[in-house]
Structure 1
Amino acid sequence: MIVTVTYNPAVDQTIQFDEQMAPDRVMRADSAQFDAGGKGINAAQLLTAMDCPCVATGLLGGFTGSFIRETLQEDGVETAFVDVDGTTRLNTTAIAAAEEYKLNQSGPTVGASVVDALLEQVRAQSPDRVLVGGSLPPGLSPDAIDRIAAGGDWETIVDTGGDVLRELDGQYGLCKPNRAELGDATGADVSTVEGCADAADTFRDRGFDRVLASLGADGAVLVGDAGRLYAEALDIDVVDTVGAGDALLSGVLSAWEAGADDETALRTGVAVSSQVVQRAGTAVPDLDDIETLRENVTVRQL
Structure 2
Amino acid sequence: MIYTVTFNPALDYVVRMSGDLKPGMTNRSDSEEIYFGGKGINVSTVLRELGEETTALGFTAGFIGKAIEDGVAASGIKADFIRLPEGNTRINVKIKGQEETEINCQGPKIPAECLDQLFEKLDTLKEGDTLIVSGSIPSSLPNDIYERILERLDGRGILFVVDAIKDLLLNVLKYHPFLIKPNKQELGEMFGVEIETDDDIELYAKKLQEKGARNVLISMAGDGSMLITEDGQRLRQGVCKGTVRNSVGAGDSMVAGFVAGYSKTKDYKVALNMGTAAGGATAFLDGLATAELINELYKTLS
Contact 1:221 1:229 in 2 (8 A): yes
> Which of the numbers 245, 248, 252 marks the counterpart of 1:242?
248
Contact 1:156 1:173 in 2 (8 A): yes
Q: Which amino acid aligns with 1:260?
A: K
Distance in 2 between the 1:260 and 1:292 partners? 21
Contact 2:237 2:272 in 1 (8 A): no
Q: Which amino acid aligns with 1:133?
A: S
1:143 paired with 2:148, answer: no
1:115–1:290 CA distance, 2 compared to 1 (3 A) = same
Runs of 4+ deviating beyond 6 Å: none
Distance in 2 between the 1:282 and 1:268 partners? 15
Report the CA distance between 1:148 and its aligned residue. Answer: 1.7
SS at match of 1:87: coil
RMSD of the TM alignment (CA)? 2.2
The TM-score, its normalising length taken from structure 1, stands at 0.88
Query: CA offsets per residue over residues 167-216 of structure 1, 9 Å max, x none?
Result: 44641222111222222223232232322222211211222221111112
Distance in 1 between the 2:295 and 2:26 partners? 48
Contact 1:39 1:159 in 2 (8 A): no
The TM-score, its normalising length taken from structure 2, stands at 0.88
Distance in 2 between the 1:79 and 1:158 partners? 20
1:19–1:235 CA distance, 2 compared to 1 (3 A) = closer
- 2:211 is aligned to 206
Higher mean C-alpha deviation, range 49-58 or range 148-157: 148-157
- 1:297 is aligned to 301
Q: Which amino acid aligns with 2:285?
A: R
Report the CA distance between 1:32 and its aligned residue. Answer: 1.6
Map 1:47-126 onto structure 2 (within 5 A): 47-84=47-84, 85-96=86-97, 98-124=98-124, 126=126
Distance in 2 between the 1:23 and 1:277 partners? 27
> Which of the numbers 144, 158, 161 marks the counterpart of 1:157?
161
- 1:220 is aligned to 225
1:252 paired with 2:253, answer: no
Q: Which amino acid aligns with 1:214?
A: S
- 1:285 is aligned to 291
Contact 2:146 2:168 in 1 (8 A): no
Contact 2:223 2:239 in 1 (8 A): no
Map 1:24-35 onto structure 2 (within 5 A): 24-35=24-35
1:261–1:18 CA distance, 2 compared to 1 (3 A) = closer
SS at match of 1:149: helix
Contact 1:60 1:88 in 2 (8 A): yes
Distance in 1 between the 2:210 and 2:114 partners? 30
1:276 paired with 2:282, answer: yes
Higher mean C-alpha deviation, range 120-129 or range 194-203: 120-129
Report the CA distance between 1:105 and its aligned residue. Answer: 1.2
- 1:3 is aligned to 3
Higher mean C-alpha deviation, range 272-281 or range 100-109: 272-281
Higher mean C-alpha deviation, range 1-10 or range 186-195: 186-195
Contact 2:42 2:288 in 1 (8 A): no
Report the CA distance between 1:12 and its aligned residue. Answer: 1.2
Contact 1:91 1:104 in 2 (8 A): yes
Contact 1:219 1:230 in 2 (8 A): no
Distance in 2 between the 1:273 and 1:290 partners? 8
Distance in 2 between the 1:208 and 1:109 partners? 31
- 1:15 is aligned to 15
Distance in 2 between the 1:18 and 1:264 partners? 39
- 1:130 is aligned to 131
Distance in 2 between the 1:231 and 1:278 partners? 21
SS at match of 2:145: helix
1:187 paired with 2:188, answer: no
Distance in 1 between the 2:60 and 2:182 partners? 25
Q: Which amino acid aligns with 1:45?
A: T
Report the CA distance between 1:8 and its aligned residue. Answer: 1.5
Query: CA offsets per residue over residues 24-70 of structure 1, 9 Å max, x none?
Result: 43333332211111111100000011110100011111122112211
Task: Give the paired residue count.
Answer: 295
1:169–1:228 CA distance, 2 compared to 1 (3 A) = closer
Query: CA offsets per residue over residues 233-273 of structure 1, 9 Å max, x none?
Result: 14512323332211211111012222422222112212222
1:278–1:102 CA distance, 2 compared to 1 (3 A) = closer
Contact 2:147 2:171 in 1 (8 A): no
Report the CA distance between 1:221 and its aligned residue. Answer: 1.5
Query: CA offsets per residue over residues 258-293 of structure 1, 9 Å max, x none?
Result: 24222221122122223332323333221xx54454
Distance in 2 between the 1:105 and 1:167 partners? 26
